[in-house]
A and B are shown apart, each in its own frame.
Chain A
Amino acid sequence: MKQAAEVREREPRAAPAPAIEVRKLVKSFGHQTALRGVDLEVAEGEFLTLFGPNGAGKTTLIRCVSSLTRPSAGTIRLRGQDLSTAATSLRQHIGLISHNPLLYGDLTADENLRFFARMYDLGDTEARIDAALDQVGLVARRRDPVRNYSRGMVQRLAIARAILHDPTIMLLDEPYTGLDLQAADMLRSVLQDLAASNRTVILTTHNLEQGLEMCDRAAILHRGKVAWEGPRTGLDLVRMKQIYRDVTRLA
């Protein structure tokens, strides 16, 4: 809360509603409760990294915010609108990179992107596809079916797919997992672009170093709750490690 206020002071624009506002979010799967009342705010243009051990509920939280999962209780507001009622139009603004590439193996890179361009009702499709493919360095292989791609290439195309519709809210769930060096570099440069162009980003990871790299703020999710959050300022890797260990051991 305090941090969000600071961000707003830094950018005194007339945007009172945070880009992402999660209130008392609960999600349970039968008797297992993945999220036990998450409160989280991300201001517009802010880059938040969400740390947490496996099973802390990071993926569930991202899936809830991306409208893939219906919360059991609590509210999510994106750009000031309630996600439970305005999901269809809000999805236009959401980009998601997760474990799954969300691509069709039987289609070429070109066809995949063209399909998603249609699903997002995008104009000047060709230019967008060219730009996206260029950004992830797949122009030469654009006419190959995706099932012939290496894992790294698939991941790069997945990135292109996620940013094709120019989302203002990017959700990245453990995006570095399984990436080769080249793809990781590519992802890093895409993330830098996003951070520089006033996008709102939530990145989840359990890798402290990668997570701290370009965030404005960090939070730790532990056992389905935000156990700690703080600004990036004055936070180095050693300090973060200390906090992470304390928070995940306690609670």
Chain B
Amino acid sequence: MSYLRKILAIVWKDIVAELRTKEMFSAMFVFSILVIVIFNFAFDLRVSGERVRAVAPGALWVAFAFSGILGLNRAFVMEKDRGCLEGLLLAPVDHTAIYFGKMLSTILFMLIVEAFMLPVFTAFFGVNLFDLRLLLIVVLGTVGFAAVGTILSAMTAQTRAREVLLPILLLPVAAPVLIAAVKATAGVLDGLTMAEIARWLQLLVAFAVIFPAAAFMTFDFVVKE
């Protein structure tokens, strides 16, 4: 229980810091909107209907993934800058609590940004994104993405290249999340049944289970010299 309390302490600390600066949230949110704008230029989304429907799931997840990378980068660069990571490492708790704490706060920030983005998307793309199944897809996709992103961000924050390196390491590994999330989202927009998108959801669940487990076993090597 003490383990869980300490995980929550880390999440609480990240929330308090973010509420004070709002740096991460505003950067992620504005960036997401910019992604839509760029998609509009790139694919000329004036024509509504089929074309928009084809592009919307991809645009949605590109926006989520890229703004997620911004958040992930911040999460550990912030810990590294004043040597705060060492402060966490000194605490009498298994180091994996740091992983889960940072993962949870990243998931939380990503979900908040995504919650703001869904209505924006609905307005810009003219497709209805308010669907319980879609909510499930967003949560599962975000968890999987943050799960693998957190351990990689803990690494890249300690390298010379820092922010530059995270997307290069993360995107190939997280590709299944993006594929499954885009396909499942498209399925929902095309009005497929739950059974038809179930295999994509299974993939998202598998990813969201396997990677925290892998990170659990290797995280200590990432943070401890």
Contacts and interface: CB of A to CB of B under 8 A. Distances in A.
B82 A100 contact: yes
A102 B5 contact: no
B54 interface: no
B20 A100 contact: no
B2 interface: yes
A102 B91 contact: no
Contacts of B18: 106
Contact of B20 (A70, A89, A145): A145
Contact of A115 (B13, B82, B86, B90): B13
Contacts of A66: 90
B5 A121 contact: yes
A88 B224 CA distance: 13
Contacts of B12: 115, 118
Given A68-B224, A115-B9, A118-B5, A104 B89 contact: no
Contact of A68 (B2, B86, B94): B86
Nearest to A119: B91
Contact of A100 (B13, B83, B93): B83
Interface string A142-177: 000100000000000000010000000000000000
Contacts of A91: 90-92
Contacts of B87: 100, 102-103, 116, 161
Contacts, number: 86
Contacts of A63: 225
Contacts of A145: 20
Interface string A57-84: 0000001001111100000000000000
B98 to A, nearest CB: 10
B91 A68 contact: no
B16 A111 contact: yes
Given A104-B17, A121-B2, A68 B90 contact: yes
Interface centre among A88, A106, A119, A161 (most CB of B within 10 A): A119
Contacts of A111: 13, 16
B92 A104 contact: no
Nearest to A69: B225
B88 interface: yes
Contact of B13 (A88, A90, A92, A104): A104
Given A100-B86, A102-B87, A118 B225 contact: no
B82 A101 contact: yes
B91 A116 contact: yes
A118 B6 contact: yes
A68 B90 CA distance: 7
A104 B86 CA distance: 12
Interface string B6-30: 1001101100111011000000000
Interface of A: 63, 66-70, 88-92, 94, 96, 98-107, 111, 115-116, 118-121, 145, 161
22 contacts: A63-B225, A68-B225, A70-B224, A91-B91, A100-B83, A100-B86, A101-B83, A102-B82, A102-B83, A102-B86, A103-B87, A107-B13, A107-B16, A107-B17, A111-B13, A116-B87, A119-B6, A120-B91, A120-B92, A121-B2, A121-B92, A161-B87
Given A90-B92, A104-B82, 8 more contacts: A67-B90, A69-B225, A88-B94, A91-B92, A94-B90, A100-B84, A107-B20, A118-B12
